[in-house]
Amino acid sequence: GAGVSQSPSNKVTEKGKDVELRCDPISGHTALYWYRQSLGQGLEFLIYFQGNSAPDKSGLPSDRFSAERTGGSVSTLTIQRTQQEDSAVYLCASSLLGLAVQETQYFGPGTRLLVL
Amino acid sequence: GENVEQHPSTLSVQEGDSAVIKCTYSDSASNYFPWYKQELGKRPQLIIDIRSNVGEKKDQRIAVTLNKTAKHFSLHITETQPEDSAVYFCAASLRNTGFQKLVFGTGTRLLVSP
């Protein structure tokens, strides 16, 4: 079946502009996660959704970052007033049940964001 | 908070050799440890995982070992092939967060030369 998809695959923007990144999880997956991958670094947790609720937003770097999920499916990560340090690959993952279940997180291909 | 350290950052081996990547974690309550492989420009993909009630798990040429006392776990790849070349990430799942919150290591770039 279809895996996790993300759009756009690449985004170049100017400092100060807002950007929206989209994630389509695997159909039926309850949990959705956003991560950020900076060059040469590991994956940094940003936010977790269980259904449409976000019980853990602790990884969002600043109040310029926000995310929502609608219909228990598509999620959008919004970065307002982008800064050069926001340049990174933003990865989305989904898993079937979420909560504290030990299960595989399936990743999307990522959106490569470059802020000039 | 939880910290996961991964070594080495780069690893070069000859085809057919074995490769070992090691990770240590700080939260003694961590109970789930996945390994992901990320080829250049592609998404991370799970290759193997281990739970805290198991000491070792194998899947063909790949094995993972877990030492809960020492709080470290390792990925072993035998008979390496050029297609094993990629960046490998370990992760540990935090407990008491209400969900499977993964903390990732910084990755190991494995290069297998023919």
Q: Tens digit of pLDDT per residue, chain B (114 long)?
A: 788 999 999 999 999 999 999 999 998 888 899 999 999 989 999 999 999 888 999 999 999 999 999 999 999 999 999 999 999 999 999 877 778 889 999 999 999 999
Please tell me the distance from the alpha carbon of residue B81 to that of residue B46, in angstroms, as a whole number.
18
Q: Which residues of A touch B104 (CB under 8 A)?
A: 35, 42-44
Please tell me the distance from the alpha carbon of residue B78 to that of residue B85, in angstroms, as a whole number.
13
Given A40, A56, A91, which is nearest B99 (Cβ)? A56
The whole-number pLDDT of residue A1 equals 58
The whole-number pLDDT of residue A77 equals 98
The verdict on A30 touching B (C-beta cutoff 8 Å) is: no
Mean per-residue pLDDT over chain A, rounded: 93
Interface subset of A 93-112, CB within 8 angstroms of B: 95, 98-110
The whole-number pLDDT of residue A84 equals 96
3-state secondary structure of A37: strand
* Interchain CB distance below 8 Å, B98 and A40: no
Q: What pairs with residue B86 in β-bridges? A: B110
Tens of pLDDT along A28-46?
999 999 999 998 778 999 9
DSSP chain B: ---EEEE-SEEEEETT--EEEEEEES-TT--EEEEEEE-TTS--EEEEEEETT-SEEEETTEEEEEETTTTEEEEEE-S--GGG-EEEEEEEEESSSSS-EEEE---EEEEEE-
Tokens, residue A93 = 């993952």
* Interchain CB distance below 8 Å, A104 and B105: no
Given A44, A103, A110, which is nearest B100 (Cβ)? A103
Class of residue B101 by CB neighbours under 10 A (exposed 0-12, middle 13-18, buried 19+) = buried
The whole-number pLDDT of residue A47 equals 95
The letter for the amino acid at B30 is S
The whole-number pLDDT of residue B86 equals 97
The whole-number pLDDT of residue B109 equals 96
Q: Residue A55: pLDDT band by 50, 70, 90 thresholds?
A: confident
φ/ψ of A85, rounded to 5, equals -70, -10
Sign of CA dihedral A104, B95, B108, A32: positive
Given A40, A50, A105, which is nearest B102 (Cβ)? A105
Q: What is the largest CA-CA distance in chain B?
A: 45
